[in-house]
Chain A
Amino acid sequence: MKPIPGMKRVARIKPLLLIGYGNPLRQDDGLGWHIAMAIEALDLPGLQVLAAQQLTLELAAPMALAEAVVFVDAAYGKDAANGSAQAIEPLALKPLHHNPQAPDPGPQTFSHQLTPQALLLLAGKLYGHQPAALQLLVPAQWHGHGEGFSPCAATALPTAMALLVGWAGGESRRA
C-alpha cells in the first residue's frame, strides 16, 4: 500500500472482507444483510464481515485494508415489480468490473448511498489500496415492508451461503 501523507499505517488484520447490504425490513431487499449476519455467525478465519443497510463512504477505509472484498446484494429482475419471478442466472461470484479512471455515477445521482464501484475507487484514491473485488447478486422478487423472503430468494439462500463459505475458505488457504 502506498503511504499517504497524514495517514497512519494500520496492520492488515483480516485479509478478506464481506459486505452484505440491504434493508432487513424490506423482504428480499435485506438478503445481503441477512447473509452477512449468517456468515458472521460462522466466525470464519481471516474474514471480516460487515452488514449494512446501504453502502456508505466510510466502508472504503476497511476495504483498503483487505486483500479481497465481496459485495453481497439482492438483485431484482425487471419483472419483480409485477410479482413475477425474474429470469435467474446461475448464482455465482463474479468479478466486479469498473473503470478506475471513470467514477461510477452512484454518488452523484443518489443520496447517501454509493455503489461498490465507487467504494473501490474511494479505497484506492483516498487510502492507496484497492482490493480485488467480487460481487454476489442473489435473485430477489419481493421488496414490500416486512420480513421473510420470496420463494425465489429462499431457494437461492443456501447456494449463496455455500458459495461465500467456499470463497472464504479457498482464499484463506491461498493466503
Chain B
Amino acid sequence: MAESPDGVPTATHANHRTVTIDPVTRIEGHAKISIHLDGTGAVETARFHVVEFRGFERFCEGRPFPEMAAITARICGICPVSHLLAAAKTGDKLLAVTIPPTAEKLRRLMNLAQIIQSHALSFFHLSSPDFLLGWDSGPAKRNLFGLMAADPDLARSGIRLRQFGQSVIEVLGGRKIHPAWVVPGGVRSPLSPAGRDQLLAGLPEAFAIAQRGLALFKQLLDTKLAEELEVFGNFPSLFMGLVGADGHWEHYGTPDGGSAAGGLRIMASDGSLVADGLREDDYASFIAEAVEPWSYLKFPYITALGPMAGRYRVGPLARLNICKSIGTERSDRELLELRQRGGPVVTASFLYHLARLIEILACLEQMEELLASPEICDAHVRVRASLKAHEAVGVSEAPRGTLFHHYRVDGDGLIEKVNLIIATGQNNSAMNRTITQIARHYLSNGNLSEALLNRVEAGIRCFDPCLSCSTHAAGQMPLQVQLIGADGGLLQERFRG
C-alpha cells in the first residue's frame, strides 16, 4: 500500500471508521483531527487536517517589497516579529546591504522577546492545563479557567512573562504587535538609554518565572508525565534549524546567510550530520513540499532523501538538538539536563515543552548580554540603498521553527512572486505521526474515551502550531467528534463546548 508523507497508508478499506475531532482546541487557527479505524477497531492512521486557506502569498503580489514586513507581520497576531524579521532580511538582500551591527543586535533583541512571549503563552496557558489538571479532566475544566482555579499564581506568572516579552517589543518598536520598526536596511530608530534601563529592570522577574516554570515541569516529568515521553510523538526523524558560528544555538541567522559561519543544519536522530552550512538562498534545492488532498498544509521534506526518509522537525526541540551548545551558562546547564533525560538527540516530541522553557531562559540570558553591549544605544541603525537584486531569500527562527521568505521583484521593486515556508508546515508530518502514535497507544477495545481525545489534541499542542488566525471573525465553533463508516456514512457524532 502507498504511504503518504504522514507515514500512514493512503488507501481506505472496507469496514473502516473515522473519528473526527473538529476543531482542535487551544491551537492557533482552524483544524481538525480524524482518527481512522480499521475493521477490527484498531487505529490505522490519524490525520491532522488544516482546512483554512490563508492566501497571503497571492495577496502580496504587486506590492512594493519594503511593505512586505508590515504586510506579512499581519499574518499572525501572535508571532508577527518572525515575519517582520524574515521579510526585512529578504529586503536587505534585495538592497544588497549589510546592516549596521547595532541594528542586528536590536533585531535580535526583538526576536528574543518574541520567542519569550510566544513560548510563555504556549507553556503557561495553552499546555499547562493538560499537565496540571490531568488527561481525564474534561475540556470544560482542563483549560485556562481550570488553571486559574488550580494555580492562579502560575497563570499570573505566564501573563507577566508575556507582558515582559511584549514590553521589549513595544520599547523597541513602539507597538506590541506589528511594529513597522524592522525595515530593509536595519531598524527605524535606536534604543534609548532609558529604554535599555527599562528592559534591564524587567529581567530579574522574567528569569525567576522561567526558572519556576522549568522546576515545575521537570518535577512533573519525573512523576506523572513519564509515559508521555514515550508515546507523544517519540520517533526518529531529521531535525533542521539555524546554527551560529561554532555550531551554537541561533535564532536570527548569520550575516552571509549560511556557509562557513553557521547557516542551516540538518541532523539525524543518531546525531549524524546530514547537511551543514546550508545557505538559505539554496533552500529550494534541499527542501521539497508534498501535497495531500485532505490538507491545505503542505508536507515539506529533504529533497535528497525523499518524502519518507526526508521528514524533519523544526522548532525549539530541533534547535536544541542541532546545536553544540547554547553559549550561556544557565541555559547550557538545562540543555545538558535535557540531553541526560532524552538522549543526545531528543526524539520525544513531548519534550518540545521543556525545550520551550529552556529557550525562554536562553533568550533572557542573551537579552541580558545584548543589553550590556556598549553600542546597543548607538544611533547608526539603518543604511539606505536602492534595489540591487531581483530575487532573495530571508530566514529567521520563529518560535515554532525555521521561517523562509522568498521574494522575486520586478525592476521597480514590486513583488512578482512570494513563497513562504512556515514552521508549522515543516512540522506537519511530525504532527501526523504524533497523533497516530498516541491514538494507537491509548485506543482500547474501540473505546473512544474523552481521555484519548484529550491526549490526541495535546499531541498536536506539543508543536504549538500556528495556522494563522488571519481573522477572528470566523466565530466560535464547538468541538465536533464524528464517527464515519467506510461508506462515508456518519455513524456517530459528538460535540463539546
Which of A's residues lie within 8 Å of B, judged by CB?
6-7, 21-26, 29, 52-58, 60-61, 74, 76, 103, 105-115, 118, 121-122, 125-127, 140, 143, 145-146
Contact = CB atoms under 8 A, between A and B. Distances in A.
A108 B497 contact: yes
Nearest to A114: B144
Contacts of B476: 105-106, 109-110, 115
A25 B152 contact: no
Contacts of A74: 473
A52 B144 contact: no
Contacts of A57: 121, 125, 144, 159, 162
A107 B144 contact: yes
B145 A103 contact: yes
B25 A109 contact: yes
Interface in B368-424: none
A26 B121 contact: no
The residue among B28, B56, B471 with the most chain A CB atoms within 10 A of its own CB is B471
Given A55-B472, A61-B163, A112-B126, 10 more contacts: A25-B74, A52-B77, A53-B472, A105-B497, A109-B497, A111-B29, A112-B28, A113-B469, A125-B152, A126-B159
6 contacts: A22-B471, A61-B163, A107-B26, A108-B143, A114-B144, A122-B148
- Please tell me the size bucket of the interface on B: 35 or more
A23 B159 CA distance: 23
Contacts of A127: 156
Interface string B22-34: 0101111100000
Contact of B25 (A21, A108, A115, A121): A108
Contact of A54 (B27, B77, B166): B77
A109 B27 CA distance: 9
Given A7-B156, A56-B121, A111 B27 contact: yes
Nearest to B466: A112
A58 to B, nearest CB: 5
A22 B145 contact: no
A15 B25 CA distance: 34
Contacts of A53: 74, 76-77, 177-178, 469, 472
A67 to B, nearest CB: 21
Interface in B441-489: 469-473, 476-479
Nearest to B143: A108
Interface in B92-145: 121, 125-126, 139-140, 142-145
The residue among A109, A111, A122 with the most chain B CB atoms within 10 A of its own CB is A111
B162 A111 contact: no
Minimum-distance CB pairs A-B, first 8: A53-B77, A108-B143, A103-B145, A109-B497, A145-B59, A107-B144, A25-B74, A26-B471
Contacts of B171: none
B113 to A, nearest CB: 14
A58 B170 CA distance: 14
B78 interface: yes
A55 B27 CA distance: 14
